[in-house]
Copies of this chain bind each other. A is one copy, B any other.
Amino acid sequence: MSDLDDVFARLDERFEAHLELLIDYLRQPSISAQNVGMGEAARLAAGHLVDRLGMEVELIPTAGYPMVLGKSPRVDGPTVLVYGHYDVQPPEPVEAWTSPPFSPQVRDGRLYARGAGDNKGQHFAHILALEALRETHGRLPCNVLFLLEGEEEVGSPNLRPFLKTHADALGADLVVISDGPLHESGASVICFGNRGFLSFELHAKTARRDAHSGLFGGVMPNAAWALVHALASMRDRDGRLTVEGLLDGVEPPAPAERAAADIFPVDVEAVQRELGLTHLDQPKDRPFADRLMFHPTLTINGISGGYAGRGSKAVIPAQAIAKCDIRLVAGMEPEHVFACLERHVARHAEDVEVVRGQGTPVARTPLDHPWAGALREAIVRARGAEPLLQPMLGATLPTAAFQSVLGLPTFLVPFANADEANHAPDENLKIACFRDGIRTAAAIYVSIGAAGRVPDPVPQASRQV
């Protein structure tokens, strides 16, 4: 215990300096979607791993931006693979920011900058924690592989191939990821999985050109109608997905997941108030937590066709498009889901084609996984309260690749405030969250080191997502 007290004391002493270091890191733009500052940011991150942690660091090229991989000096004990990303979202619309996105500014207890929470502030907290552990004890309490990618914000297209090619160098006992927010109450969360993702487009085409709705109305098929009926055939008015075979294999929550979901606190009224909802989505009788954890969605992200300008135009559209995504839950697999979509559209939607987009499998680690205990204990030590256990995050992270390629259990332990405004103007990280994040990271490494090598390294269940 006292070993961690020393570390916490050291972190308190250094906190102002740590904040300055983060500010320097945030000053470096690293916009993967726009190819701005990527090499510089990768080298900055690698420099911190070398200088502060004495790691052996490689910048490994991919088909896109390089991976930064740091390996700590060998100690006896388990190995943690820490994953984060050094790229950030585009800052646009820049004029909507109170202070410029790459000129970090502290206001009212928050640090405002693009990447503050997503994800530089969070993985940098791990670096600072490890530095303090090393300085205090002369060595790290466990082995650490630090992996930072530069393409998370563009869908991690090269992560899975990278893990496959470098599987030998990535032997570890567990993966820890700090990304996303704490619970809205400020409580810590351990998140054991996340929904998967499949994007696709529906393309309706009925004619070579648009035509006049009076002269050809009733004669020429309307691409917007074809699209509307194709969509309506895939999800009914009551919110049930009606694509044949799509739900085959969906796994119900395990008893521990069911129990955790039932007690996971949500202020439904606050959500409705913030978004301005008069009601929740169909089906209306579904428990709130289940909506995000145990049920797939079919979202129309955008729909367009025909005349969308001012006033009206008497036209029959020849083409119309819907952009959609599906969030997958346990037991659903992107390839199978897309095959169902293709078959459904071929059978039920004349004049419509389905075009595949990106796919990411579901990630799921059992709630009773042996490492969960060490993480809970660490959080209690760092923050003085039990974390909430969240079986599944509604959004999608590229964690499934660590499970399926490396066979490792993954744990998401986020540090950012719930209103971090990631992907939006005025992205920010509460100063207190940054401080608590560094403390939590330090406690996690100590706790994992103390637990030693877990006898049953990876239950088979967690490989099967």
Chain A residues within CB distance 8 Å of chain B: 195, 197, 199, 201, 206-209, 211-222, 224-225, 227-229, 231-233, 235, 237, 271, 275-282, 286, 288, 291-292, 295, 297, 299-309, 312-318, 320-323, 325, 327, 350-351, 357-358, 393-396, 423
Residue ID in chain B nearest A357 by CB atoms = B312
Nearest-neighbour CB distance to chain B for A259, whole angstroms, equals 20
Q: Is the CB of B216 within 8 A of A225?
A: no
In this complex, what residue of B is CB-closest to A212?
B395
- Asked if A218 contacts B301 (CB within 8 A), the reply is no
Contact A301 B277 (CB under 8 A): no
Given contact pairs A207-B275, A323-B306, A323-B307, A280 touches B221 in the complex (Cβ within 8 A): yes
Given the contacts A207-B277, A303-B304, A394 and B312 also touching, CB distance less than 8 Å: no
CB–CB A300/B292 < 8 A:
no
- List 10 A-B pairs, minimum CB-CB distance, nearest first: A214-B395, A208-B276, A302-B306, A218-B291, A217-B297, A224-B300, A232-B232, A302-B307, A304-B308, A213-B299
Contact with A308, one of B209, B228, B323 (Cβ below 8 angstroms): B323
Whether A300 contacts B396 in the complex (CB less than 8 A), given A276-B208, A280-B221, comes out as: no
- Contacts of A212 on B, CB cut-off 8 Å? 395, 423
The answer on a CB contact under 8 Å between A229 and B221 is: no
Q: Using CB atoms, name the residue of chain B closest to A321.
A: B308
| Assembly CA distance A301 to B304 (angstroms) | 11
Which of B218, B275, B350 sits near A394, CB closer than 8 Å? B218
CA distance A320 to B276 in the complex (A): 16
Q: Is the CB of B325 within 8 A of A303?
A: no
> Given A306-B323, A308-B302, A312-B199, A225 and B214 touching (CB < 8 A)?
no
Residue in chain B with minimal CB distance to A205: B276
Q: A214-B394, A228-B228 are in contact. List 12 more A-B contacts (CB 8 A).
A: A211-B275, A213-B327, A218-B291, A218-B327, A220-B277, A220-B281, A228-B231, A229-B232, A229-B237, A299-B314, A301-B316, A308-B321
Contacts of A295 in B (CB 8 A): 218
- The interface residues of chain B lying within 8 Å CB-to-CB of A315 are 301-302
Asked if A313 meets B302 with Cβ closer than 8 Å, knowing A218-B291, A276-B207, the reply is yes
Contact of A208 among B220, B275, B292 (CB under 8 A): B275
The answer to whether B297 touches A301, judged by C-beta atoms less than 8 angstroms apart, is no
Chain B residues contacting A303 (CB-CB under 8 Å) are 224, 227-228, 303-306, 308, 317, 320
Among A201, A309, A327, A358, find the residue whose CB has the most chain B CB atoms closer than 10 A: A327
Check if B211 sits within 8 Å of A197, measured CB to CB.
Answer: no
Q: Which residues of B contact A271 (CB under 8 A)?
A: 219
B-chain residues with CB within 8 Å of residue A288 when the two chains form the complex: 219
User: A297: which of B201, B213, B321, B358 is its contact (CB, 8 Å)?
Assistant: B213
12 inter-chain pairs at a CB distance below 8 angstroms, sorted by A residue, are: A201-B312, A216-B394, A219-B292, A220-B280, A221-B280, A222-B300, A225-B231, A228-B231, A301-B306, A303-B303, A303-B306, A303-B308
- Shortest Cβ gap from A455 to chain B (Å): 35
Find A281's partner among B218, B231, B276, B393 (CB 8 Å cutoff).
B218
Residues of B within 8 A of A237 (CB): 229, 233
Given contacts A275-B208, A277-B220, A277-B221, contact A299 B313 (CB under 8 A): no
CB A152 to nearest CB in B, in angstroms, measures 13
Residues of B near A350 (CB, < 8 A) are 279
**Is the CB–CB distance between A299 and B316 below 8 Å?**
yes
Q: Are B222 and A281 in contact (CB under 8 A)?
A: yes
Q: Are B232 and A228 in contact (CB under 8 A)?
A: yes
Q: How far apart are the CA atoms of A211 and B325 in the complex, in Å?
A: 13
**Nearest CB in chain B: distance from A298 CB, A:** 8
Contact of A312 among B208, B305, B325 (CB under 8 A): B325
| Distance to closest chain B CB from A465 (angstroms) | 17
A209 near B301 with CB under 8 A, answer no
Given known A-B contacts A228-B228, A228-B231, A291 and B219 have beta carbons under 8 A apart: yes
What is the minimal beta-carbon distance from A305 to any residue of chain B, in angstroms? 5
Q: Which residues of B contact A215 (CB under 8 A)?
A: 292, 394-395
Q: In the bound complex, how far is the Cα of B281 from the Cα of A351, in angstroms?
A: 11
Given contacts A208-B275, A275-B208, whether A312 and B307 have CB atoms under 8 Å apart is no
**CB <8 Å contact, B276 and A221:** no
Judging by beta carbons under 8 Å apart, are B327 and A217 in contact? yes
